[in-house]
Amino acid sequence: MASSSSVELEAINVVEKELDHVINKFIEIKESATAEINDVATLLEELLRALNKAEQEITRSTINTGTQIDIGDDPKADEADMQVEMECRYQSFTLNILTSPPRLTDSEIAIIIEALQKANKKLQRLSADHRDLHGAVSKVGKVIDRNFISDFTATTRTDTLQDGENMMLLNKVMAKHYCHQGMDDVARLLIEESNMPEDMAREVFESESSFTEIYRIWKAIQQQNLKAALEWTARYSNELIAKNSSLDFMLHRLAFLQIISRGISAQTEAILYARNNFYKFADRFESEIPTLMGCFIYLPLGIENSPYKHLISTDMWTEVSYVFLKDACHTLGISKNSALSVVINAGCAALTPLLAIKQSRQVFNIWRGREELPIEIDLGPEYRYHSIFACPILRKQTTEENPPKKLTCGHVISNDALNTLSNGHILKCPYCPEEQNPEDAVRIHF
Contact 218, 321 (CB under 8 A): yes
CA angle, residues 385, 388, 392, in degrees to nearest 5: 100
Candidates 233, 188, 225; CA nearest to 208 is 188
What percent helix, strand, coil does the chain show, rounded to 5?
70, 5, 30
pLDDT above 60: residue 311: yes
Q: pLDDT of 250-307, one tens digit each?
A: 999 999 999 988 888 888 999 999 999 998 888 888 888 888 898 888 888 888 888 8
Dist. CA 229–CA 245, nearest whole Å: 14
pLDDT above 70: residue 5: no
pLDDT at residue number 334: 81
pLDDT at residue number 253: 92
Residue type, 85: E
pLDDT at residue number 439: 87
Q: Given its phi and psi angles, is residue 217 left (phi above 0), alpha (psi -120 to 50 degrees) or beta?
A: alpha
Average pLDDT over residues 10-22: 84
DSSP labels, 219-244 = HHHHTT--HHHHHHHHHTHHHHHHTT
pLDDT-based confidence at residue 67 (cuts at 50, 70, 90): very low
pLDDT at residue number 68: 47
28 by DSSP, 3-state: which?
Answer: helix
DSSP state of 423: B
DSSP labels, 139-166 = HHHHHHHHHS----GGG--TTGGGSHHH
Dist. CA 18–CA 12, nearest whole Å: 10
Dist. CA 243–CA 246, nearest whole Å: 9
pLDDT at residue number 58: 63
Contact 400, 394 (CB under 8 A): no
Q: pLDDT of 82-119, one tens digit each?
A: 555 555 654 554 555 445 555 566 776 777 777 778 77
pLDDT at residue number 366: 52
Ranges of H-type helices in 357-414: 358-364
Q: pLDDT of 372-418, one tens digit each?
A: 566 677 777 777 766 678 888 887 878 888 889 988 888 898 889 88
Who contacts 110 (Cβ-Cβ below 8 Å, separation ≥6)? none
Q: pLDDT of 219-254, one tens digit each?
A: 999 999 999 999 999 999 999 988 888 999 999 999
* Superfamily holding 384-443: Zinc/RING finger domain, C3HC4 (zinc finger) (3.30.40.10)
Cβ-count burial of 282 within 10 angstroms (0-12 exposed, 13-18 middle, 19+ buried)? exposed
Who contacts 441 (Cβ-Cβ below 8 Å, separation ≥6)? 405, 406, 407, 408, 418, 427
Q: pLDDT of 194-219, one tens digit each?
A: 999 988 888 888 877 778 888 889 99
Who contacts 181 (Cβ-Cβ below 8 Å, separation ≥6)? 215, 338
9 or 75, higher pLDDT: 9
Q: What is the mean pLDDT of the chain?
A: 79
Candidates 411, 409, 415; CA nearest to 443 is 415
